[in-house]
């Protein structure tokens, strides 16, 4: 198996990762990078703690409640001019979709078999409820991502800070 087939976390280079757990991104928002997808979502404080406590997808009912709370935070952050918080909320919505899909596709949410040199596991062994949860998060993620005020702030942020 080549290293490109293995999980990316096996060769993770923390020193070159732009998001750092010791930075308060509310006090130092200029240090935040938008990045790709969900990058930094489990690191950037205080937003990680504020949003992460609501992030759940075990059942469609729980996913609905969770995504509604995260959407409310998304709009609150936008209203108060906290782009970093809004972007982090968007990332949590995206992660709700991707993680729920992983659990829908793979039993226990595991894609690789650690005991067999990280060989990919079979798809289609997961929980069908998680597919419904994923769909709920997907709709909210796309709604947040398309919000005109969010898009305006994101473009300005990327042009200024990266």
| pTM reported for the whole predicted model | 0.85
Buried b (16+ CB within 10 A) or exposed e, 44-83: bbebbebbbebbbbeebeebbebbebbbebbeebbeeebb
Backbone dihedral angles phi then psi of residue 113, each to the nearest 5 degrees:
-100, 105
Of 16, 145, 17, 133, the closest CA to residue 74 belongs to 145
Average pLDDT estimate for 8-33 = 82
Give the residue extent of every domain in the chain: 41-160
Contact 2, 117 (CB under 8 A): no
* 71 pLDDT higher than 50: yes
Answer with the residue of higher pLDDT: 10 or 36: 36
Write down the mean pLDDT value for the chain.
88
């Amino acid at each position: 198996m080549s290293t490109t087939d293995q999980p990316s976390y096996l060769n993770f280079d923390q020193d070159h990762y732009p998001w750092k757990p010791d930075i308060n991104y509310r006090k130092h928002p200029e240090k935040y990078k938008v990045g790709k997808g969900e990058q930094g979502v489990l690191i950037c404080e205080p937003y990680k703690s504020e949003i992460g406590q609501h992030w759940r997808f075990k059942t469609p009912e729980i996913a609905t409640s969770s995504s509604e709370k995260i959407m409310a935070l998304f709009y609150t952050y936008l209203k108060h001019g906290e782009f970093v918080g809004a972007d982090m909320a968007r990332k949590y919505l995206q992660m709700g979709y991707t993680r729920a899909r992983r659990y829908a596709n793979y039993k226990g949410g595991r894609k690789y078999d650690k005991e067999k040199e990280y060989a990919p596991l079979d798809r289609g062994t997961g929980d069908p409820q998680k597919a419904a949860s994923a769909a709920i998060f997907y709709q909210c993620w796309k709604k947040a991502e398309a919000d005109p005020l969010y898009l305006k702030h994101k473009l300005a942020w990327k042009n200024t800070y990266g």
